[in-house]
Amino acid sequence: MRCARPRAGCATVDASSISRPASSAPSSRPTAPTATKAAIEVLTGILSKELRGRSITVNAVAPGPTATDLFLHGKSPELIDRLAKANPLERLGKPEDIASVVSFLAGPDGSWINGQTLRANGGLV
């Protein structure tokens, strides 16, 4: 259910990304995008607690490299191949992969999941 204003039975799904490292290991990723994504993930957890008792779920999705025009633009075939092979499934995500995860979290089957960031990235760790 899409919710312009949170009400009972609503689900909120925030967008994070693989830009936010799953560990605290040093990263060469730019500071601002990483900090922004980390903030989204922390706020997701906080909101899930603040909306306690209202039957509203709050989750985030952190997609890995996904084959969209924006992602592919300007990248060499060699780089795209290397990025695709970086995860155990050895392929880039497809937009429908990410849409399915969001649909699951926003739908009735995801109603017991709350305050989580789901990393939809083919197993990239």
- Residue 55 confidence (pLDDT): 93
Q: What is the Cα–Cα distance from 70 to 55, expressed in whole angstroms?
A: 36
Torsion of CA 96, 98, 99, 101, to 10 degrees: 130
- The correct CATH number of 11-21+30-120 out of 1.10.3720.10, 2.160.20.10, 3.40.50.720, 3.40.640.10 is 3.40.50.720
User: What is the predicted pLDDT for the residue at 16?
Assistant: 84
pLDDT at 6 (0 to 100)? 62
Report d(CA 34, CA 19) in Å as an integer: 6
* Residue 19 Cα distances to 54, 98, 107, 108, angstroms: 31, 16, 26, 29
Backbone angles phi, psi at 18, to 5 degrees: -70, -10
Domain extents for the chain? 11-21+30-120
Full pLDDT tens readout for the chain, 125 residues: 446 566 677 888 888 876 544 444 455 667 888 888 899 999 999 999 999 999 999 999 999 999 999 999 999 999 999 999 999 999 999 999 999 999 999 999 999 999 999 999 999 98
Rounded to two decimals, the pTM is: 0.82
DSSP tag of 6: -
Indicate the length of the chain as a whole number.
125
